[in-house]
Amino acid sequence: MSEDVIVGIITLILVVAIIALVIKQANRKHVPPRFPLLEEEIIIFESDAVWLKSTFGNKIGRMYLTNLRLVFSANPNVLFMVLFGLLGFLLAKLFTKKKPAFEINVKDIKTVQRTKYGLNKNVLDITDLTSTYRVSAAKKFMEPWQNELAKHATILQPSF
Residue 100 domain flag: yes
125 φ/ψ angles, rounded to the nearest 5 degrees = -95, 115
Residue 127 domain flag: yes
- How would you class 134 by CB atoms within 10 Å of its CB: exposed for 0-12, middle for 13-18, buried for 19 or more? middle
Is 80 in contact with 95 (CB distance < 8 Å)?
Answer: yes
Residue 125 domain flag: yes
Number of domains in the chain: 1
Give the pLDDT of residue 70: 92
Residue 13 domain flag: no
Q: What residues make up the domain containing 65?
A: 31-158
Tell me the average confidence (pLDDT) per consecutive run of 10 residues in the chain, 160 residues long.
Answer: 83 79 64 82 90 82 90 72 63 62 87 87 90 90 88 56
Residue 18 domain flag: no
Residue 103 domain flag: yes
Residue 66 domain flag: yes
CATH number at residue 124: 2.30.29.30
